[in-house]
Structures are given as structure tokens and as C-alpha cells.
Amino acid sequence: MVIGPVFFTNNRKKLLDKLPDNTAAFIFSGEEKKMDSDSCYRFLPDRNFFYLTGLEKPGFMLILIKKEGALSESLFAPVHDSMKERWTGKRMDFSKISEISGIAETCIRDRDTFADEVFKLAADNSLRFAVDGSSVMEAPRSFAERCRKQSKEHMDISNILTGMRLVKSDEEIDSIVEAARVTEEALAEMKKLIKPGVSEYELYTKLEYEMAKRSSMLYAFETIVSCGTNSFYLHHSDPERDGDGIAKEGSFIQVDVGARVNGYCADISRVYFVGRPDSDDDRRVKLLGLIRELRKAAFAFIAPGKTFAELNSQMYDIAGKWLAEQGLINDNFSKDDVTSYYWHNTSHFLGLDVHDVGPRDSVFACGNCLAVEPGVYIPEWGVGFRIEDDVVLTTDGCRLLSSGADDLEGIIAE
């Protein structure tokens, strides 16, 4: 599945409609990051630039202008250069750029003319400049700094773009569903390797191979595979080949992984028990019972009008009562008592970034996509894990975008 140019064209139109009149907005794809003197890391474009164009190459610049009610757009891209392409790779034809982005080929220009165009627009004193202040790329920051030095009035459009990205379209939701499918297929293949003696490294590489085989080569985030007490390091992204990184009979494995499809992320956590539990008193099974209860309550609670803080409060109440029943905290527990075991927030926005844009204090709305990951970690027991699935907000609740699998038989690896 591929998101078509109409999606990106509509996004540019929505942004232009929201801009004040007499504004020129500058959005940059960004630049490659050097890995060494001869090569760069795999490139991921600025997410707002991608949201507006669908293009994933470095060195592109987009100008959107709203002047006296008239709307225009120009894209600046590298042109073919046989000598440079010999060493740095094939460049896109303008016709292909137009096909992906929906920008007319006549509005696509040589990147080397960008500075002249900026100079011409800067001379128009009626035009306010706009940049994306949320970008992690250097180009928009440098551009904003030049505006300041030249006393050119400019505004930050990041809040406008964030508001647009918070509510997902059908194409975006379908892409997250597909990313979740790819992720869970990779997890199913990885699970076949789980047995005493397998290393985190073997499971990690199997996951990433299976996602790449399904056309997801740039993952949503660094894959996490944690054997046993390594799960107490929440972002354990350096898989071990020996020692604590070896699966042991009667232990468990925490996995947190996400594929990326059409630029959109899945975020899925699963736990696997190494070997069948002897009884319901197995501490892994007892904790699983709590996590399943938290998940059921979270999915029932999430709805338009609710907030992350309210969701966390619900989870703390349920987890606190359970922890008190286990004798781990007092019956008259405080929030701090609970968070000594409930280490991270229950949920976050999901989309083009795995922790997608959006204020933590915002009210949930229909079309928001969330990753939901209640987790409890009990060092005294040597057991702690989370199970995470992805949802979209509907008119009266939420709908799973991933499988929601958390049954004991699916968790046991034998």
C-alpha cells in the first residue's frame, strides 16, 4: 500500500488555509548526518516536510505562499548531475517528484536557485516569513537565524502542523495498521527461536530481518529485546550475546519493536515466558494478570474528552490496589508509592514519530492514534514487563489497530 499524492496535496492546502494572509512558509526536508568522512546514516526526512510532500530525500526545500488570498507552492530539488550522482547515488526526476507529491512539475525548480528566490521574497515587505520551529534539522534553524539577523518578520508554524497531524486520516490509520501487521508477523517468526540459551542478539537480528523482508528497512525506533532483569532497563537497545542477555528456563523476555510503513510507526511490546509456568503462583503469571487487567481498563477508558493524566490516574489506582494486596506497598498508598513500580506513562501519541507530536495536556479527540503500554516492574520479584498495542480514537471510545494479543498461551514459548 502507498499513500497517494492527493493526501499530500490536501495537507498543503490545509496548511495554506490556516496561514495568515501575506505569509511565505519555508519547510525543509533536512540534511544527511555524517557517519564518517565517506558515508552518511540512512536518511529520515523532517516529518512535517514528509507530511506535506511524501518525499524522503535530503536537500529539498518547499515554499508555500498565501498572498492577497492567492495560494502558490514551489519545491526546490537537486537536479541531475552525472558526476555527483556517480558518487552519491541517483537523483529523482522532476516528473517522479511531481508524481509522489502532487506538486506540478512546472513548480519544481533547481535547488541552486533557492537562495535567489528567498532574496526576491525577502524584498517584499508585505510578506511575513514562517518556519517550522519544531524541526530537529539544521536547515530551518539556520533559516530562522538568518531572518532574525536581517530583521525579517517571521512566525513559527509548528503548532499549526501539530494540530493537523494529531487527527489521522484513513490513509494514515491504514498505514499504522499495516506497520502493526508487519511488526506482529516479525514477532511471530522471532518467537519460534525462543528457548533456553538463545541470546538477545539472535532475537533482535531476527526481528529486524523479518521487518526488512516485509519492506520496512527504517524502523520506528531502536528495537528492544531484554532477557529477564534486563527489562528493568526500559530502553535496553544494545542486545547482549552472553551473560544477562541469555534466555533462561523459567524467566521471561521483554520485546518492544515497531515497523514503519509509508512513514507511519507501529509501537508494540510483547512479553514471552521461557518455558511453561508450574502454577498460577508463578510470579510471571501473577504480574501478567495485573497487566491484562490494566490493559482492559485502559482500552475501556480511552475516549474523546479524556486526557493522559486521567488515564494514568486510573492505572495508578488499579495497580496500587494490586501492589498493596501483594504486600509491596501500604494500603493507604500514595502516587509515589505506585510509581516506584509503575515507571512510565501509560500512553503516548503515535504517527509519523513513534512518540508523535502533541501536547501531553491535550484532550483526546476522534482520530488521535495512541500507543497504550501499561507496565509494572518489581525488582524484589525479579519480574517486570509491559504489553503494548496501538489504538485510534473513535466517536465514543477507541479501536485496536494491532492485535491486542495478551493471552497466556500466546505468551508461553516452549
pLDDT band at 86 (very low <50, low <70, confident <90, very high): very high
CA distance 312 to 297: 11
Residues of the chain with CATH 3.90.230.10: 170-413
- Cβ count within 10 A of residue 308: 21
CA torsion 89→93→98→101, rounded to 10°? 0
CA distance 162 to 168: 11
Distances (CA, A) of 190 to 211, 288, 330: 11, 21, 40
CA distance 254 to 203: 11
Tell me what percent of the residues of the chain surpass a pLDDT of 70: 100
> Is residue 18 predicted with pLDDT exceeding 80?
yes
Q: What is the pLDDT of residues 224-275, one digit of tens each?
A: 999 999 999 999 999 999 999 999 999 999 999 999 999 999 999 999 999 9
Provide CATH code, domain 5-165: 3.40.350.10
pLDDT band at 339 (very low <50, low <70, confident <90, very high): very high
Task: Scan for cell 530525500, then name that residue.
Answer: 57
CA nearest to 46, candidates 54, 38, 37: 54
User: pTM score, two decimals?
Assistant: 0.96
CA torsion 213→214→219→220, rounded to 10°? -160
Residues of the chain with CATH 3.40.350.10: 5-165
Helix (H, G, I), strand (E, B) or coil at 108: strand
Q: What is the mean pLDDT of residues 38-54?
A: 95
- What are the grid coordinates assigned to 155, written together? 512566525
**Which residues does residue 72 pair with via DSSP β-bridges, in sequence order?**
65
Query: What are the residues whose beta carbons fall under 8 Å from the beta carbon of 268, sequence distance 6 or more?
Result: 180, 183, 184, 187, 256, 257, 258, 388, 389, 390, 402
Q: How many CA atoms lie within 13 A of 156 on its CB side?
A: 9
Structural class in CATH, domain 170-413: alpha beta
Query: What are the residues whose beta carbons fall under 8 Å from the beta carbon of 95, sequence distance 6 or more?
Result: 105
Q: What is the pLDDT of residues 172-181, one digit of tens each?
A: 999 999 999 9
pLDDT of residue 301: 98
Q: What is the pLDDT of residues 266-299, one digit of tens each?
A: 999 999 999 999 888 899 999 999 999 999 999 9
Distance of CA 223 to the CA centre of its chain: 13
pLDDT of residue 212: 97
CA distance 323 to 179: 35
Q: Sheet holding 389-393: strands in order across?
A: 347-349, 369-372, 389-393, 398-400
Q: What is the mean pLDDT of residues 360-384?
A: 97
pLDDT of residue 148: 82
